[in-house]
Amino acid sequence: MKLRSIALALTVMLPVCSFAQSRDNGRVERLQDHVYTLAADDMSGRKAGSPDAARARDYIERQFTEMGLKPLFTNGYEYQFQRQGVTYTDVAGIILGNGYSDEYIVVGAHYDHLGINGRGEVFNGADDNASGTAAIIEVARELIARGSELKRNVIIAAFDAEELGLYGSEALCSLLSKEELLGKVKLMMSVDMVGWYGKSHYLKLEGIGTIESGKSIVRELAEADDINLKLKKFENSVFTATDTEAFAKAGIPTLAVTTGTKSPYHKPGDDPQLIDYQGLGKVSDYIADFTVLAASDTTFRGSGRVAEKHSGKSRLFEAAVTAYAGGTNMNFTKSGLTTKSGSSIGAGVSGQFNFKHFGLRADALYTRNNSTLPDPADVYSSNIPFRYSTVTVPLQVLFQTQGPSRGYFGVGAFYSYLIEGQGAGFDFKRNTFGVAFSLGAKISHLGFSVNVMMGADAFTDKSISADPITTFAGISYYF
């Protein structure tokens, strides 16, 4: 199945009408009709690949047909693809531009949801994502009306099987790549969960850093549309994903558009009566205006930057703050005596250079340690408390997997400066050295590690020769 030939399609006249300054008064009512239809109980949750999803798809196609949206594919709106032996179906149309006929803007939303659980509860998915599907239907309607303003082609896509793993958007991305059109996509927007503007009080745009001058563009347009934005340069969370992912990994500028997660998404209570339809109207207006801008402004382009999680590469330099807790004991090397472990807590900062599968990490940690020392009067039977604080600087070489989320093993050395120590009968050195080991993982902005630091230069006077051993678990936040 191939995409409609652009050369052929350009010979087809598009319906064009003048766009009034005031918004379409019937839009909010139509949005409500779309959501109530797609998220009705008798749709049974629109589970991907099911007859209920097919009924939702039929509704979307009827809307596209009635408004005059041209099918994207040579044999209609539908594109079928398979995953693990199951057939799924995307629905897509195209509004042809008048100038840059070989360039595209993609606006997509997934129409599938979770179906019915084992207790017979229907996951209607009004916000997730009947709201986004309703929005792109109305965006398509407005873009057709404003077709004379568009220089680039606009693809409107309703994706199947997002809930199963972003399969629908991945399928379209693969098809565009196969047809050698993916490199001509100037922007991809995923409209996912946009029905709770009244409760969130913002429309979140993630990915403005992928667009040249993205922040100023979206803010100027928001002022004109009187809508409050929450902006993020990039999509960073590895725990959430939307249909931008396949396009972003291909280096395409992307925007994830949402009103957030305040709705009862992925719960049976995500019902149509909870949607803010006036807010959904404002969101649809904004998406339409932004799409017109991206499709009509010849200076609109990508920044060349991509989210770390989409690049598959680690940043060259990373900085983090770290907190840890663990235990410290004293190893008396000459006698073979090791004292009981006491608590150890600390915090600090770190910097790390990444070179593919190797890294170089330096930390500066302030520590407070509690341990015990043998009583000089009765070395083997009695212990006295020992408290000390240090500034410790470990330097480690890391052997790591590559990517923004990764695992690693580190080995190196540390230097420790004693700020103060309290323990009777011993003379403590200010400067000590030792070896350091770490095992950990970084997931998005968070790092988790288990660390061991073993003193190798006697902490006490050499006649007694005691070395500290500190084992701790750390948590880091990467900027």
- Other C-beta atoms closer than 10 Å to the C-beta of 85 total 5
Q: What's the DSSP call for residue 304?
A: S
Predicted model pTM: 0.76
- Residue pair 144/68 in contact by the 8 Å Cβ criterion: yes
Please tell me the distance from the alpha carbon of residue 70 to that of residue 122, in angstroms, as a whole number.
Answer: 33
Check if the beta carbon of residue 310 is closer than 8 Å to that of residue 248. yes
Residue 236 pLDDT > 90: no
d(CA 364, CA 376): 34
| pLDDT tens readout for residues 39-94 | 999 999 999 999 999 999 999 999 999 999 999 999 999 999 999 999 999 999 99
Residue 423 has what pLDDT? Answer: 60
The answer to whether residue 114 scores a pLDDT higher than 90 is yes
Task: Write down the pLDDT at residue 336.
Answer: 58
**In the prediction, which pLDDT does 334 show?**
59
What's the rounded mean pLDDT across residues 248-276?
96
pLDDT for the residue 267 = 96
In this predicted structure, the answer to whether residue 387 has a pLDDT above a threshold of 90 is: no
**pLDDT confidence of residue 13:** 30
Q: Per-residue pLDDT for 444 more than 80?
A: no
Q: Per-residue pLDDT for 126 more than 80?
A: yes
How far does Cα 463 stand from its chain's mean position? 57
Angle at which helices 27-38 and 132-145 pack, to 10 degrees?
A: 140
448: left (phi over 0), alpha (psi -120 to 50) or beta: beta
Among 48-62, 252-266, 318-332, name the one with the lowest average pLDDT: 318-332
So what's the pLDDT on residue 381? 57
Is the pLDDT at 172 greater than 70? The verdict is: yes
Of the chain, the percentage scoring pLDDT greater than 70 comes to 87
Structure tokens at 209: 């850093």
